[in-house]
Chain A
Amino acid sequence: MLLLPSVVVFALFVFWPLGRTLYLSVHGNDIFGAPSAYVGADHYREMLSADFGRVLATTALFTLFSVLPAVAGALVVVLLLEARIRGVRVLRTAFALPFAFSVATASVIFAVIYNPAIGVANGLLGAFGIDRVNWLTDPSIALPAVCAATVWMNFGYNILVLSAGVAAIPPEVVEAARLDGATGWRLASRITVPLLSPQLFFLVVVSTIHALQSFGQIHILTKGGPDQATTTLVYSIYEKAFAFGSADFGAASAQAVVLLVIMLACTAVQFGILERRVHYR
């Protein structure tokens, strides 16, 4: 009885949309996007193509190169900030600052930075006599450029979580290690990082899900281009369903189901493999 409110909310906001997505994924559409005839697994069969394979590969690369650098980079910064240097509070705040930006704001800032004609990035390169780089219009550079923007956006949050983790390490453990002669690298690798493993695990799982769902920065920076180089699964779903007057909700729903399966698989794997190495206190 006490569960009823949450059951109702879940049914309305999770199970019903999920059921609806499954239903739409096996139906065709009329020109307004309303479901029409039952088409079986047609939409799923359409996905067995080189184009969709490329979308999946892009999604994997984007996830890998936006999650790992952001988590590893934040870890390095947090460890360095442990050093007792002047102005460490200012630095910590500065590093955590990206957290305060919304995806849209940050993307617009990066769009200006990457602008081919008036952007800061090319301006800096120009100052060193290096020719313009087509950050968002060269297919081999666009994906790394969008990843870099994403890493920056996620950096602040990662710093906050890891800093809190470091602060929660009992001082007596660190002190004992120091008395035993552990300093610098040894202290970090044997004591701090293992004790941070719950936070690191949390960040990897959450940022992977987050990366798989990323939309704003891609939409604002590249719209999935150039030449499909930044079309991730979520962006492909958006294009099928809403972009260019397309209202192919059937194909979009089928892709959404695939995304759901991928996310479940990723999370299951992470819990199965990584979690065994997590040290919970």
Chain B
Amino acid sequence: MTRLRLRRTMAAFVALVAVAAMGGCGGSGSDAGGDALDAPGAEVLEKATGKTTIEFWHSMKGPNAQAVDQLVADFNAQSGGKVEVKAVFQGSYDETIAKYKASVQQKSTPALVQIYDIGTRFMVDSKQVVPVHKFVEKDAFNAADIEPNIASYYSIDGKLWSMPFNSSTPLLYLNKEAFERAGLDPTKPPRNLTEIGELAKKLTVKDASGKTVQYGFGAAIYGWLLEQLLATDGKEYCDHGNGRTGLASKVQFDQETAVGVAQWWTDLVKGGYATNTGRKTDDAQAAFKAGTVAMHLESTSVLRGYVDAAKGKFTVLTAPYPKVGSSSAGGPIIGGASLWIGGVGHSAQEKRAAWEFVKFASSPAAQAKWHTGTGYVPINAKALEEQIDKDWMAKFPQFRTAVDQLHALPPSVASAGCLLGVMPQARKASEDGLEAAIVGSKPAEQAMKDAAASVQGAIDSYNKSVG
């Protein structure tokens, strides 16, 4: 209660200060009316006197944050003193979007913000941003090098709204030595959930006292993994063509495929072949890194950390993300986060400066550095031809899987991912459902149905407020 009050009070103060500040400078920096969402040309920066400084909000931590800082420093150095980007870490993706919402109310949005894939629909509906395709048209920018599978997530009616920045794909991780000890061939990884289920039984090891020392399978109860599995089965996560032909009005993670996944997972945990480490991805990662889990699902973005952690203990292998069944023909969703250019409340110079940085960040050279520094897949296909990238792939062949997977399939509606204004809440609800099934408090079908129903109110009220 006090905490909440305190936050409110603080928000109120910030709002007061913001109002005072705006009153003071009489709308100097902001352009009113319809042109707030237009894309200015390169001339606005050439004509500008002095330096244009913009804020860039991001959610990258650890080595990834260092890569962001390096990217920003490189950009500032080559901008010839015309533009300065200031990178500001805003916490997790969830926290960043929450702060962004507050900044819209306070009319102090950043010129550039990194938002996760599932915030895409909200960003479009916010009516605060300049769609990237306007800049692409203005500059006749060659967008063909942007990986089509990645761009499709951030496109509506074929038009790119934000520039993909860090993209990851899910992978199946294997402990090579665990396979060998069980007399299995690690070069023949399981291709679907049924096969994982069978292998998990062979890969579960108990000691003399009956205590399990190695589980066949283990992954975090993470809604993203379910979204990916549905996509590999060619199923849409929400209605209206994954929210791409119109505003999605309901989620579909209570469909047969999803219930099947929940049931499969529950059976493995119940049978003692999978460990349930809960929702925290950190805990599931720790179990795999400790060698107590033989097969594991995670994003490519943790591969580098796994390779380092397993050094001297076991060999980390990667395989394409499993499909649901042997007849599944889809591919995973290429998610991650993208860069959004602020329009409302920003001068032409600021908008242009943000676009200049976006262009720089998506160039082959920058993406090659980004790829090798973080483990995210490059969003620019040409990055793979850069020398540093080639050297790196030779050193860590495990990274090849993600890139191959990215190129394996043409974009489809299912693998474009669901656009839904309240997608973060939908993901959380799907985790509620999975968890209720896995811990045995509800049958799988009931659990997924209840979970899907629980997010309906939020979808309706969102659609009402933007409709």
Residues of chain A at the chain B interface (Cβ within 8 Å): 12-14, 16-18, 20-21, 28-34, 36, 46, 51, 115-118, 126, 129, 131-132, 134, 136-139, 212-213, 215, 222-223, 225-228, 234, 237-238, 241-248, 252, 256, 259-260, 263
Contacts and interface: CB of A to CB of B under 8 A. Distances in A.
Interface stretch (B99-107, B141-149, B228-236, B369-377): B99-107
Closest 7 CB pairs of A and B: A245-B424, A137-B278, A117-B287, A244-B424, A17-B5, A244-B428, A32-B101
Contact of A131 (B2, B98, B211): B211
B311 interface: no
A31 B126 contact: yes
10 contacts: A17-B9, A32-B104, A131-B210, A212-B1, A222-B278, A227-B435, A227-B441, A241-B4, A245-B423, A246-B422
Interface in B387-421: 421
Contacts of B104: 32
B202 interface: no
A125 B398 CA distance: 36
A124 to B, nearest CB: 13
A34 B276 contact: no
A242 B4 CA distance: 10
B211 A33 contact: no
Given A225-B279, A245-B425, A247-B101, A139 B94 contact: no
B278 A225 contact: yes
A21 B105 contact: no
Nearest to A20: B8
Nearest to B440: A139
Interface in B209-242: 209-212
A116 B280 CA distance: 11
A244 B94 contact: yes
Nearest to B3: A215
A259 to B, nearest CB: 5
Given A28-B461, A256-B1, A259-B1, A226 B439 contact: yes
A51 B2 CA distance: 24
A31 B421 contact: yes
B290 A118 contact: yes
Contacts of A139: 439, 441
Contacts of B275: 116-117, 132
B432 interface: yes
Given A241-B4, A245-B98, 20 more contacts: A20-B12, A21-B4, A28-B461, A29-B465, A31-B125, A31-B466, A115-B283, A117-B292, A131-B211, A132-B275, A136-B278, A137-B276, A137-B277, A137-B439, A226-B278, A227-B439, A243-B94, A244-B425, A245-B97, A245-B424
Interface string B429-449: 000100110010100000000
B187 to A, nearest CB: 27
Contacts of B125: 31
A118 B5 contact: no
Contacts of A212: 1
A127 to B, nearest CB: 11
B77 interface: no
B32 interface: no
Nearest to A223: B279
A246 B424 CA distance: 8
Contact of B122 (A36, A132, A138, A245): A245
Contacts of B279: 223, 225-226
B458 interface: yes
Given A32-B101, A126-B211, A137-B276, A248 B458 contact: yes
A138 B439 contact: yes
Nearest to B95: A242
B286 interface: yes
A48 to B, nearest CB: 14
Contact of B427 (A36, A117, A223, A244): A244
Contacts of A14: 5
A132 B278 CA distance: 14
Nearest to A213: B1
Contacts of A263: 1
Contacts of A260: 1
B98 A247 contact: yes
A28 B99 CA distance: 20
A212 B3 CA distance: 12
B462 interface: yes
B119 interface: yes
B423 to A, nearest CB: 8
A117 B211 contact: no
B447 to A, nearest CB: 9
Contacts of A252: 4
Interface string B108-128: 000000000011001001100
Contacts of A222: 278
A228 B432 contact: yes
Interface in B248-280: 275-280
Contacts of B283: 115-117
Contacts of B211: 126, 129, 131-132
Contact of A31 (B12, B212, B425, B465): B465
B278 A246 contact: no
Listed residue (B2, B8, B276, B421) with the most chain A CB atoms within 10 angstroms of its CB:
B8
B4 A256 contact: yes
B309 to A, nearest CB: 11
Interface string B1-41: 11111001100100000000000000000000000000000
